[in-house]
C-alpha cells in the first residue's frame, strides 16, 4: 500500500471508533509494514486531523499503550451546531399545550444529535466515566451518540420495569414541573457498584427526572461525574440538581404570538 492509502485507512479506522485504543502492532499486521513506517503514517494522520480541526490522535505509552482518536469540535463547528438547533427550535409552530415544545424531529435527527453528542463528548472526555445513562425515550439518541463518541456502554433507565430486564431496583420520584410522583427502574445487571456515570438527557425543566436517575444510581453506589442536557428551561429558576451542562436555554414561550425564546449556552 502507498503511504496515502495507509494514512487514509488509519484515519478511517480511528475516527470510526473514537476513544478506542489500537496498538501500533495492529496496524503493522494490517499493512504488513514495519513499526517505524506505521509510526510515520500515524504522525501524518495526526497532523492532518489537527490541521483540519477534526479531532486529535493521542499516543499512550506502556504495555497497554497505543493510539486513539479523540473527537474535537472547533469553535466554527460548535457555533454552527448550536445556531442550527436554535434556528430549528425557535419555530413558533413547535408550541404545544402547556408551554411545551415539539422536539421529537430534532431529537431523532442523527445529524443534529451527532453534533450535540460531539459537544458533550468534548466536555466530559476526561471525566473517567464508565457509563452513559439516560431515561427513555427522547434522550436515547443523543445519549447513544455520546456513548459512541466516548466508547462507553449506554444504560437506559426505564419508566416501567420490563420482564426482559430481569430483577430491577425501582424508586419513586417527584417530577420537577408538577411534583407528581412517578416511578423509574433499573435492571440489577445494568451497572456495577462503585463505577462512575455521565447522565445525558434531551430536556430539563426543574430536574426531577435527572434527580430520580441520580437517586436510582445511588442505590448501586454509582457516582455521577457529569450531567448534560440539550435544552434546559430557565423556569423554574431553582432546580432539583445543581451541576449540569446545557447546550441551549429555553426562556419564554409565547403561545398567543407563537414566539419561542431560546438561546445558546455560550459559557
**Mean of the per-residue pLDDT values of the chain:** 91
Residue 182 has pLDDT above 90, yes or no: no
What distances in angstroms separate CA 7 from CA 41, 45, 152, one per listed residue?
5, 6, 26
pLDDT tens-digit series, residues 208-233 = 999 999 999 999 999 999 999 999 99
Instruction: Report residue 258's pLDDT band, with 50, 70 and 90 as the boundaries.
Output: confident
CB contact at 8 A, 228 and 245 = yes
Better-scored residue on pLDDT, 58 or 173 = 58
Q: Which residue has the cell 464508565?
A: 130
For the chain, the structural domain boundaries read 3-71, 75-264
CATH of 3-71, one of 1.10.10.10, 3.40.50.720, 3.40.718.10, 3.40.630.30: 1.10.10.10
Measured between alpha carbons, how far is 21 from 254 in angstroms, rounded to an integer? Answer: 49
Backbone angles phi, psi at 141, to 5 degrees: -60, -50
- DSSP, residue by residue, 189-251: TS--TT-EEEEEEEEESSSHHHHHHHHHHHTTTPEEEEEEEEEEES-SSS-S-S--EEEEEEE
Instruction: Report residue 156's pLDDT band, with 50, 70 and 90 as the boundaries.
Output: very high
The dotted CATH code for 75-264 is 3.40.50.2020
The structure's pTM equals 0.89
Instruction: Report residue 20's pLDDT band, with 50, 70 and 90 as the boundaries.
Output: very high
Identical topology for domains 3-71 and 75-264: no
If you ran DSSP here, which 8-state letter would residue 92 be given? Answer: G
The average pLDDT across 200-207 equals: 93
Instruction: Report residue 179's pLDDT band, with 50, 70 and 90 as the boundaries.
Output: low
Residue 32, number of CB atoms within 10 A of its CB? 8
Measured between alpha carbons, how far is 195 from 133 in angstroms, rounded to an integer? Answer: 12
Instruction: Report residue 162's pLDDT band, with 50, 70 and 90 as the boundaries.
Output: confident
- What percent helix, strand, coil does the chain show, rounded to 5? 40, 30, 35
Instruction: Report residue 130's pLDDT band, with 50, 70 and 90 as the boundaries.
Output: very high
The per-residue pLDDT for 61 is 79
CB contact at 8 A, 96 and 238 = no
The per-residue pLDDT for 178 is 60
The per-residue pLDDT for 73 is 87
If you ran DSSP here, which 8-state letter would residue 90 be given? Answer: T
Amino acid at each position: 500500500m502507498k503511504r496515502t492509502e495507509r494514512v487514509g485507512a488509519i484515519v478511517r479506522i480511528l475516527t470510526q471508533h473514537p476513544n478506542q485504543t489500537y496498538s501500533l502492532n495492529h496496524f503493522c499486521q494490517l499493512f504488513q509494514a514495519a513499526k517505524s513506517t506505521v509510526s510515520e503514517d500515524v504522525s501524518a494522520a495526526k497532523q492532518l486531523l489537527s490541521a483540519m480541526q477534526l479531532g486529535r490522535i493521542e499516543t499512550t505509552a506502556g504495555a497497554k499503550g497505543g493510539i486513539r482518536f479523540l473527537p474535537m469540535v472547533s469553535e466554527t463547528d460548535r457555533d454552527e451546531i448550536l445556531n442550527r438547533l436554535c434556528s430549528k427550535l425557535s419555530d413558533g409552530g413547535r408550541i404545544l399545550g402547556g408551554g411545551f415544545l415539539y422536539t421529537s424531529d430534532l431529537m431523532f435527527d442523527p445529524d443534529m444529535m451527532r453534533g450535540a453528542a460531539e459537544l458533550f463528548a468534548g466536555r466530559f472526555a476526561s471525566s473517567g466515566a464508565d457509563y452513559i445513562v439516560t431515561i427513555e425515550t427522547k434522550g436515547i439518541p443523543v445519549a447513544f451518540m455520546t456513548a459512541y463518541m466516548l466508547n462507553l456502554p449506554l444504560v437506559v433507565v426505564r419508566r416501567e420495569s420490563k420482564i426482559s430486564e430481569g430483577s430491577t431496583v425501582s424508586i419513586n420520584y417527584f417530577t420537577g414541573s408538577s411534583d407528581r410522583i412517578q416511578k423509574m427502574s433499573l435492571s440489577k445487571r445494568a451497572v456495577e457498584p462503585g463505577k462512575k456515570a455521565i447522565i445525558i438527557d434531551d430536556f430539563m425543566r426543574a430536574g426531577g427526572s435527572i434527580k430520580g436517575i441520580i437517586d436510582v444510581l445511588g442505590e448501586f453506589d454509582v457516582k455521577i461525574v457529569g450531567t448534560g442536557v440539550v435544552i434546559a428551561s430557565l423556569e423554574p429558576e431553582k432546580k432539583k440538581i445543581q451541576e449540569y451542562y446545557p447546550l441551549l436555554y429555553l426562556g419564554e414561550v409565547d403561545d398567543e404570538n407563537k414566539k419561542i425564546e431560546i438561546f445558546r449556552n455560550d459559557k
